[in-house]
């Protein structure tokens, strides 16, 4: 009930503010999933600043929404409910990286572009309208009707994303995502210079010995783990069977990492969940261990091996979100169902890089590093 009242108050102020004209080149950046410098919205905002000094910006971040939800400071709540909808009502461009539910109670103005830069570069598991039910599904559907541009990687995912967001395919643009540009740039730099400063940065920060290889364990977000993460068993199995010469880096979904009280005490594990720049973590890693996470759509560009630790495959498939594709055939790496199997695969070190190359070609329409330029062109058209 409190959330609904908040959404309605937000919309009420928004509609009053519509009495004022749209301010040209006014941009509102809604970054409720990832407010780091390497996020899609941050990168587009930076590109717009470089394009013209006449752009002006305001922001809605994860921190803003958390402060409002906590109701600890009435001044911040009041500021959010008065200032943010006013800024949105007068914006010519709205960039967002997540579903913004107050949108369900308002309608964008004619002349305002609402650009959804979804935080996942691709998807294995179902999401959005394909899995949500009840009031949440209806609110998301209504919120998404405001989208004018949904940016995706490839024409092959156009229909899938249109269905997941509940919008027409005519609003989906397969031009690539800005954070891919940044990652491609770094990969090219490392290959050119034969030196990896991102690996050096992480190794120095976490005091990882230079002779160790970094295994990145990045499991997907599971809805039931928001309040009680349940990965202790998987971590223990990986640590117990991990071959010599490796360090396990842990990167969890933001919701899960905050709820996880502690990680097992071991010199062979480091907590990387709170590193703001995901690309730096990816560039520092020698191998990715994941399950159903969209992180694979960025990591595949490095052409480093991946292992898919699907310890709850049956449960996730039958009672969880489920998948868009036959899982075992789709993922670009071997599938393991126990920690022991994962560690054996690491020990064997037999990975087919051609599978990764095929996966990249299948999921990327562009690999030219110009996704941000194409998006700026759409914005200014």
Where does the pLDDT of residue 260 fall: very low under 50, low under 70, confident under 90, or very high at 90 and above?
A: low
Q: What would the CATH number be for the domain defined by 2-176+369-380?
A: 3.40.50.11820
Q: Name the least confident of 55-59, 85-89, 263-267, 281-285.
A: 263-267
Q: Concatenated DSSP letters for 302-363?
A: GT--EEEE-TTHHHHHHHS--BSS-HHHHSSS-EESSHHHHHHHHHHT---HHHHHHHHHHH
Give CA torsion, residues 221, 323, 297, 139, to 10 deg.
Answer: -60
Give the residue with greater pLDDT, 254 vs 107.
107
Helix (H, G, I), strand (E, B) or coil at 33: coil
| Beta strands across the sheet bearing 113-116 | 56-61, 26-31, 93-96, 113-116, 149-151, 172-173
* pLDDT of 257: 64
Task: Give me the chain's average pLDDT, please.
Answer: 91
Residue 231 CB contacts under 8 Å (≥ 6 apart), including other chains: 219, 225, 252, 256, 260
**180-363: same fold as 2-176+369-380?**
yes
Give CA torsion, residues 317, 318, 324, 327, to 10 deg.
Answer: 30
The domain segmentation of the chain, as residue ranges, is 2-176+369-380, 180-363
Helix (H, G, I), strand (E, B) or coil at 250: strand
For 135-176, the pLDDT digits (tens) are: 999 999 999 999 999 999 999 999 999 999 999 999 999 999
Where does the pLDDT of residue 223 fall: very low under 50, low under 70, confident under 90, or very high at 90 and above?
A: low
The secondary structure element, H or E, covering residue 101 is none
The structural architecture, per CATH, of the domain 180-363 is 3-Layer(aba) Sandwich (3.40)
CA distances from residue 303 to 191, 288, 357 in whole angstroms, order as listed = 12, 11, 7
Q: Inter-axis angle of helices 62-70 and 74-89, to 10 degrees?
A: 130
For 270-322, the pLDDT digits (tens) are: 999 888 888 999 999 999 999 999 999 999 999 999 999 999 898 888 877 88
Q: Quote the radius of gyration of the chain (alpha carbons, Å).
A: 21
């Amino acid at each position: 009930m409190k959330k609904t009242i908040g959404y309605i108050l937000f919309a009420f102020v928004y509609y009053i503010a519509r009495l004022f004209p749209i301010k040209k080149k006014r941009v509102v950046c809604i970054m409720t999933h990832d407010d780091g410098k390497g996020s899609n919205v941050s990168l587009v905002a930076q590109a717009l600043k470089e394009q013209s000094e006449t752009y002006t910006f305001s922001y809605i971040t994860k921190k803003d929404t958390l402060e409002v939800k906590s109701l600890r400071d009435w001044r911040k709540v009041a500021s959010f409910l008065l200032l943010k909808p006013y800024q949105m009502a007068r914006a010519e461009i709205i960039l967002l990286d997540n579903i913004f539910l107050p949108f369900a109670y308002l309608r964008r103005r004619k002349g305002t572009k609402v650009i959804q830069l979804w935080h996942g570069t691709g998807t294995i598991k179902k999401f959005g309208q394909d899995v949500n039910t009840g009031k949440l599904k209806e609110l998301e559907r209504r919120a998404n009707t405001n989208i004018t541009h949904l940016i995706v990687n490839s024409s092959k995912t156009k229909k899938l994303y249109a269905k997941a967001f509940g919008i027409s395919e005519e609003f989906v643009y397969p031009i690539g995502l800005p954070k891919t540009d940044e990652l491609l740039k770094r990969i090219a730099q490392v290959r050119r210079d034969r030196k990896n400063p991102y690996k050096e940065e992480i190794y120095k920060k976490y005091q990882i010995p230079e002779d160790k290889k970094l295994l990145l364990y990045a499991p997907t977000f599971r809805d039931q783990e928001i309040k009680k993460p349940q990965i202790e068993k998987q971590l223990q199995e990986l640590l117990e069977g991990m071959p010599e010469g490796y360090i396990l880096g842990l990167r969890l979904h933001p919701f899960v990492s905050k709820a996880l009280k502690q990680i097992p005490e071991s010199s062979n594990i480091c907590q990387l969940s709170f590193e703001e720049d995901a690309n730096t973590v990816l560039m520092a890693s020698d191998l990715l261990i994941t399950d159903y996470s969209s992180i694979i759509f960025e990591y595949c560009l490095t052409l480093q091996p991946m292992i898919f630790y699907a310890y709850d495959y049956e449960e996730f498939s039958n009672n969880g979100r489920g998948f868009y594709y036959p899982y075992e055939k789709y993922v670009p790496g071997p599938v393991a169902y126990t920690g022991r199997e994962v560690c054996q695969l690491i020990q064997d070190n037999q990975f087919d890089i051609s599978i990764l190359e095929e996966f990249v070609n299948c999921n990327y329409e562009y690999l030219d590093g110009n996704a941000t330029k194409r998006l700026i062109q759409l914005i200014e058209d």
